[in-house]
């Protein structure tokens, strides 16, 4: 066995050591590659992945946009699931239009690329510490989808202040209030949180009790 030094890459993810002992996981090279692949390497950066002034709806047009829409969304999904929870909602949003994408849907995808242009080095930073703090957060919009008025759930779980699990998913039913939408989102988050908590209990001698913060119902404890 040979000591090759510190690990710099794992499955295409770059590991960057900080002066304070922190380790940041990022995919800067992958972002550069996909920007070049979709001819967006010289695009102008924007500060957010979604233009909230534009609301997209499915189309029943006979023709689709002449662009590699599905391929682009697929590459963004890979990035989102690995190190970029900040684009989870945006990628989930554009993925709703895979069946019949139009020009406005492609513009939304390109906006995500423009956001990545200015955030190539963003990633997940793990800092050293003695306290294994595990917390979760969940929330939902209400009737955000203009086509069917369904809401979107979102959650993030943090381990020592770094995200380790996240998700954004449109709910399967129509919520009649913001409270109901929030409870549905909380239920999804609790299922994920319980699994992670049990895993931590197996890995560690004892894991801290999890605090789950939710935008509507406050704090719920997971035992």
The domains of the chain, with CATH numbers, are 9-123 (no CATH), 130-222 (3.10.20)
Q: What is the pLDDT of residues 177-196, one digit of tens each?
A: 999 999 999 999 999 999 99
In this prediction the pTM is 0.88
Structure confidence at residue 45 as a pLDDT band (50, 70, 90): very high
Given pLDDT bands bounded at 50, 70 and 90, which one contains residue 203? Answer: confident
Give dist(CA 11, CA 5) in Å, integer: 17
Decide if pLDDT at 4 tops 80.
no
The per-residue pLDDT of the chain, averaged, comes to 90
Hey, how many other C-beta atoms are within 10 angstroms of the C-beta on 88?
21
Instruction: Give the rounded percent of residues in the chain with a pLDDT score beyond 70.
Output: 91
Tokens of 125: 């930073």
Mean pLDDT of 96-100: 96
Flag whether pLDDT at 217 surpasses 60: no
Range in 114-118, 169-173, 200-204 the model is least confident about: 200-204
**For residue 213, what pLDDT band results from cuts at 50, 70 and 90?**
low
pLDDT confidence band for 210 (50 / 70 / 90): low
Confidence band of 214 (pLDDT split at 50, 70, 90): low
Q: How many residues does the chain have?
A: 223
Query: CA-to-CA distance for 59 and 54, rounded, in angstroms?
Result: 15
pLDDT value at position 212?
56
Per-residue pLDDT at 164 exceeds 70: yes
Percent of the chain exceeding pLDDT 90 equals: 76
The whole-number average pLDDT for the span 124-142 is 90
């Amino acid at each position: 066995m040979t000591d090759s030094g510190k690990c710099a890459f794992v499955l295409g993810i770059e590991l960057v050591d900080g002066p304070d002992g922190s380790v940041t996981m990022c995919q800067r090279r992958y972002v550069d590659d996909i920007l070049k692949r979709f001819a967006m390497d010289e695009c102008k950066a924007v500060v957010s992945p979604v233009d909230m002034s534009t609301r997209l709806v499915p189309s029943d047009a006979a023709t689709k946009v002449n662009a590699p829409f599905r391929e682009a969304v697929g590459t963004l999904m890979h990035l989102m699931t690995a190190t970029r929870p900040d684009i989870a909602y945006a990628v989930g949003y554009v993925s709703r239009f895979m069946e019949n994408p139009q020009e406005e849907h492609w513009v939304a995808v390109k906006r995500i690329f423009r956001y990545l242009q200015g955030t190539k080095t963003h990633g997940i930073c793990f800092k050293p510490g003695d306290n294994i703090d595990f917390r979760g957060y969940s929330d939902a919009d209400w009737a955000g989808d203009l086509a069917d008025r369904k809401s979107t759930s979102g959650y993030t779980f943090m381990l020592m202040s770094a995200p380790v699990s996240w998700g954004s998913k449109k709910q399967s039913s129509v919520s009649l209030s913001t409270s109901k939408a929030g409870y549905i989102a909380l239920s999804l988050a609790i299922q994920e949180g319980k699994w992670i908590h049990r895993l931590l209990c197996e890995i560690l001698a004892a894991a801290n009790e999890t605090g789950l913060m939710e935008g509507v119902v406050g704090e719920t404890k997971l035992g």
